[in-house]
Amino acid sequence: MDTLVIVTGGSAGLGRALLASAPPGAHRVDVSRSGTDLPDTDHLAADLTDPAGWAAVGERLTALVTRRAWDRITLLHNAGTLEPIGFAGEVDAEAYTRNVLLNSAAGQVLGHRFLAAVRDLDVRRELVLISSGAARSAYPGWSAYGAGKAACDQWVRTVGAEQTHRGGVLVLSVAPGVVATGMQELIRDTDPRDFPQVDRFHDLHTRGQLVEPDVAADALWALLDDPGVATGEVVDLRSR
């Protein structure tokens, strides 16, 4: 099978693991600022916190999708940020704006571009947005992050319903659990004044309850092969 796999934020953490565990022989593309160290992986340089570059990224995605007759095309939007951690009205305004743009708007805009690019293709097509438990629970200090993930969950529900009418793309939002990435290190280094629930994440780390990125990535790829999964679903891998 001739497969195209595109991962945003593929330079490290879960994104890198998703590229590394992509179907054998897949043409892999990382969309990030810094690029990945994985061999045989193309890099599309982009800062997804900056809307000025989104149109160019969309054009590159369209070019990738249409450059040959793929059998399967998968876009996994993994790029996200927790920074700045702190209460709304107290943290840096520009950093807060970048958080909102990346966690909420970028996934919807790039998802729209992807759906337009693959709309008329009679191949297996999948669009996955990486979600979080913060989309459903309130964590003081994570207002922009939680709201952004919740917005993308609702976008997936709505777009999935649209795809059942026409389009046929599998669109999912997937929360991978608490994954052992640099984001978790950032959380544990945060002052409790800015993130009052920091002790919970220290406890998860101490008890060895973080999920390794490769384990989460394998579970996500297995989910895509599950015939029981329906477009528009918001899935928490911890409940499967």
Catalogue the active-site residues.
145
- Rounded Cα gap, residues 172 and 28, in angstroms: 20
